Structure 1
């Protein structure tokens, strides 16, 4: 980043990283992996991080400014982190851009499927999308339905969090096992 690179930074960059960090922490809840059988792999973790980031972005996009700007800052933080992680895993510089782009496209596809199901109030469609993406088509049955219920409970919980709190980078998720209890 050159001498003046700091001028190009979003004024919401730090908040975006804080919101993203909360989504990552929520996605690491052991219940997803032990209770629901989400694959504890790079792909499985990516999908859960993506789901939680989507839920926060969905909430922020429904709010007045700076909600949409914060949603973009969270998205930017997520994919900057993906870039860094790929480099730390030893992916070559020439391949990183292509891999991040593929992850970006995957996230957008998943977000569109989740958004359509949630907007329609169709928990079955949400469970099917989660099964297709999180379990990569491996039958998950009741686990996918439970993950859909958790996502919907988190969405309701996030809807109660106000813009002022979110703008400070504070977002709270329910513990996964208790989200549907």
Structure 2
């Protein structure tokens, strides 16, 4: 009976507090006002995926618990995207394809930001694609977003694994 109970018990995802904080950061008005990211579903997704990519890269640099949290963070993202799409009326026949596409977009950002952090590509170029899909509205908007992304990245690096996983963000 105990094994049957475990089958139906849902363990909490260790990355839920961190995911919630990244979502809160992505909702900050400055991205859409000063940064001029389009305040649309796609624009909000772009900010969230960008911040998640940077967070994932920081978790990759951590210890074993951080590595596990990286996987858990992706699971939070998939669950959230699934829920959002269902709320928007997307049905089961296309759900997997749509969520897969969003996960792929996140993965592409992780790769691009890995190159930027490694110095193989400029932060400007990656931010232009990651936030604006290559259509940067102005130099001032890009400068604002770059400053915020660099601040976010440096703050992530300044957090210990446990603090970061528990959702303590700048």
TM-score of the pair, normalised by structure 1: 0.83
- Going from structure 1 to structure 2, the CA distance change for 1:63 and 1:133 (only over 3 Å counts) comes to closer
Structure 1 unaligned regions, length at least 5: 174-181
Verify: 1:53 aligned to 2:52, yes or no: yes
Aligned with residue 156 of structure 2, among 155, 158, 175: 158
Q: 1:47 deviation in Å?
A: 0.9
> Residue 81 of structure 2 aligns with which residue?
82
> Residue 101 of structure 2 aligns with which residue?
102
The number of residues matched between the two structures is 165
> Residue 133 of structure 1 aligns with which residue?
130
RMSD between aligned residues: 1.9
Q: Which runs of 4+ in 1 moved over 3 A?
A: none
Q: 1:99 deviation in Å?
A: 0.3
Contact preservation (8 Å) 2:57, 2:110: no
Q: Deviations 1:16-37 (Å, cap 9, x if unpaired)? A: 1111110000011101101111
Q: 1:121 deviation in Å?
A: 7.2
Q: 1:5 deviation in Å?
A: 4.0
Structure 1: distance between partners of 2:8 and 2:49: 28
Structure 2: distance between partners of 1:51 and 1:133: 6
TM-score of the pair, normalised by structure 2: 0.88
Q: Deviations 1:11-58 (Å, cap 9, x if unpaired)? A: 6x1x31111110000011101101111100111101111111122211
- Going from structure 1 to structure 2, the CA distance change for 1:133 and 1:105 (only over 3 Å counts) comes to same
Structure 2: distance between partners of 1:127 and 1:147: 9
Structure 2: distance between partners of 1:134 and 1:165: 27
> Residue 177 of structure 1 aligns with which residue?
none
Contact preservation (8 Å) 1:131, 1:140: no
**Higher relative CO (CA 8 A, sep ≥ 6), structure 1 or 2?**
2
Structure 2 unaligned regions, length at least 5: none
Contact preservation (8 Å) 1:127, 1:147: no
